[in-house]
Amino acid sequence: MSLDVSCPIVCLITTGECDAANYIESSKRILAIARAAVEAGVDLIQLREKRLTGKLLFDLAQHVVEITRGTSTKLLVNDRFDIALAAGADGVHLTSMSIPADVVRRHVDDRFLIGASCHSAEDVAGAAAGGADFTLFGPVFASPGKGDGVGIERLASVCASAGDLPVLAIGGIDEGNYMSVLDAGAAGFAAIRAMNAVGSMTRILNDWSHHLPGGCDALAGS
C-alpha cells in the first residue's frame, strides 16, 4: 500500500504513557484522540505504547482499528509486527531495534504499510531498499527526550536524496514550524505533543487547508 503523496501526509503518534496501571483511563484518552484524528482527516495514527503488555496492546489496537476502519485514516502499530497483523491494523512502524523492513515485507502484501525511523541518509536508503513505504526522519527540531534537532538544512538534504521514498519530518514540530518542514521537501510530518492536543491538531489542519490545493481540503475535515 503506497502512500498518496499528492497531498502532505499527517501522522499522529500516541504519547506512550499508557501502561497496565492506568490502562482504563489512558486507553479512553487514546481512543478519543483517534476519533478526533479521523474526524480531522489525519492520514496516519502510530500506536506507540511501549509500556503495554502484548495482550493490552492487542486489545487497544483492535479498538483503534474499529475507529479507523472504513475511513481514510490508517493505523500503524509501533514495532510489533505480530500485533499489527493480528489486530487488523494497516501496517507497522519499525525502529532501529525492530526486525528489518525486508523481513516484514516478505510476509505481507503491498497493502500493508511499513514505516521506518531514520536518522541519516544512509538509514533512508536502507529503508527504501528494504521495502518501506515511508520514513520518519529526525529529530528536526529540539524536543523533550531527543535533545537538539538536526535542523532544516539536514532535512532538506535527506529529502533530496530519498528519491521516491516519502520522508516525513519528526521532532519538535508544532503549529509554528510545520510549514518549514514542507518547504524543505518533506512529504509531511509526524508529531506527538502537537497532534495529541485536539485544539492544536485542529488548528494545524485548518491552517494547512489554506495552503493546499483544493483536492487536499479533506485534511481539514471539510
CB atoms within 10 A of CB 215: 8
pLDDT of residue 39: 93
Q: What is the mean pLDDT of residues 34-42?
A: 94
Residues 1-36 pLDDT 10s: 567 888 899 999 999 999 999 999 999 999 999 999
Chain centroid offset of residue 156 CA: 19
pLDDT of residue 33: 96
Residue 219 has pLDDT above 70, yes or no: no
DSSP structural state of residue 100: P
Spatial CB neighbours of 151, under 8 Å, sequence gap ≥ 6: 140, 141
From 74, 171, 161, 64, select the one nearest 117 (Cα to Cα): 171
Set of cell numbers at residue 89: 491494523
pLDDT of residue 213: 57
Alpha helices in the chain (DSSP H): 23-40, 54-68, 81-87, 101-106, 121-129, 152-161, 178-183, 193-196, 198-209
CB atoms within 10 A of CB 46: 23
* pTM of the model as a whole: 0.93
Phi and psi, residue 94, nearest 5°:
-100, 140
Residue 129 has pLDDT above 50, yes or no: yes
Average pLDDT, the chain: 91
Instruction: For residue 92, give Cα distances in angstroms to 16, 133, 139, 219.
Output: 16, 10, 20, 22
Residues 161-196 pLDDT 10s: 999 999 999 999 999 999 999 999 999 999 999 999
What is the pairing mode between strands 44-47 and 74-78?
A: parallel
Q: Which residues face 118 on adjacent strands? A: 137
Residue 88 has pLDDT above 90, yes or no: yes
The correct CATH number of 9-209 out of 3.30.2130.10, 3.40.50.300, 3.20.20.70, 3.40.50.9100 is 3.20.20.70
Contact 172, 141 (CB under 8 A): yes
Instruction: Look at 183 and 214; give whichever has higher pLDDT.
Output: 183
Q: Where are the domains of the chain?
A: 9-209
- The span from the CA of 131 to the CA of 218, in Å, is 28
pLDDT of residue 54: 98
Residue 139 has pLDDT above 90, yes or no: yes
Q: Is 106 left (phi over 0), alpha (psi -120 to 50) or beta?
A: alpha
- The span from the CA of 77 to the CA of 88, in Å, is 10
pLDDT of residue 47: 98
